[in-house]
Amino acid sequence: MLSQIEIKRTLERRIREIPTLPSVASKVMQILENPRSSAADVERVIMYDQAMATRVLKLVNSAYYGFPRRISTVSQAVVILGFVTVKNLILSISVADFFVMLGKTRIFNRAELWRHSVGTAVAARILARKAHFPQLEEVFMAGLLHDIGKVILDHYFPQEFAQVIQLAQEKKISIYEAELEVIGISHAVVGRWIADHWNLPQLLVEVINYHHQPFENKDYWATTALVHVADIIARQARIGSGGDDVQPTIRPNVLEWLRIKDQDFQEVQKQLELELLQADDLMNIGLERGA
């Protein structure tokens, strides 16, 4: 069994060895940072990866987006959905592949983690609408990525992570608490490292790092708080699994901070059920290559 210091050093080294995002995803993100970019620019890059283009079009034509007529080209998708939405779709597909690429273990079900991540992302966007928060797509992406550190721990330290899960089950504590006890570092910190490695926007890096401790994030507190609440809502609704059976409660001051009332909270839960019925394609996008 490695010591906590050895685990941390090994993690830092191995994260540098983890593949970057697919080149098409990286190029699209660069293009969309340029205000002079056009929908045609995005399409030219994506068309180099026909599999990616096909999957993007499958998602934009899914029931989740609900457009009355079929979107037949990537440039059309950019015009209708906007640059940010298409960028996040590409990032979602790339991250979903990363879940599958690292394989599966008996002790931790990554398919259920992906479902939980999608549930959190959808809940975060619904909450953002309720709170009149303008950055809906950024909130969605932060929700989708919030637990990415668990995938890294599961892959590179299966023995220690298995002990984390066992301890969480025996003591009926969260994985987050068990990680600190067994490994000395949480999936939130590991997630921050991988987000940095992938050169993701600082907002995503910070939200991943602080999603269990929203009050400690001073720069992106609203997005962090939204993801924190959405994570708990997804757990309470038992959408997928984060790896433990703990049902945390939301601190009242977080809801007050976001100006979300109890009545709003109940409406979010109902809306989440409805929207997830339309999100099958997104739920399955991370599982198709692992089937």
Q: Measuring CA to CA, which residue among 253, 131, 148, 242 is closest to residue 191? A: 148
Q: How far apart are CA 270 and CA 261, in angstroms?
A: 15
pLDDT in tens, 244-269: 988 887 776 888 878 777 777 788 88
pLDDT in tens, 24-52: 777 877 787 777 888 888 888 888 788 88
Angle value at C-alpha 94, between 201 and 283, nearest 5 degrees: 110
- What's the confidence (pLDDT) of residue 159? 85
Q: Measuring CA to CA, which residue among 43, 46, 52, 152 is closest to residue 93? A: 52
Residue 122 pLDDT > 80, yes or no? yes
Q: Which of 19-23, 58-62, 209-213 has the lowest mean pLDDT?
A: 19-23
The answer to whether the pTM exceeds 0.75 is yes
- Mean pLDDT over residues 163-188, rounded? 92
CATH number of the domain at 141, please: 1.10.3210.10
Can you give the residue range of the structural domain that contains 31? Answer: 4-290
> Greater confidence, 116 or 279?
116
Q: How many domains does the chain have?
A: 1
- What's the confidence (pLDDT) of residue 85? 85
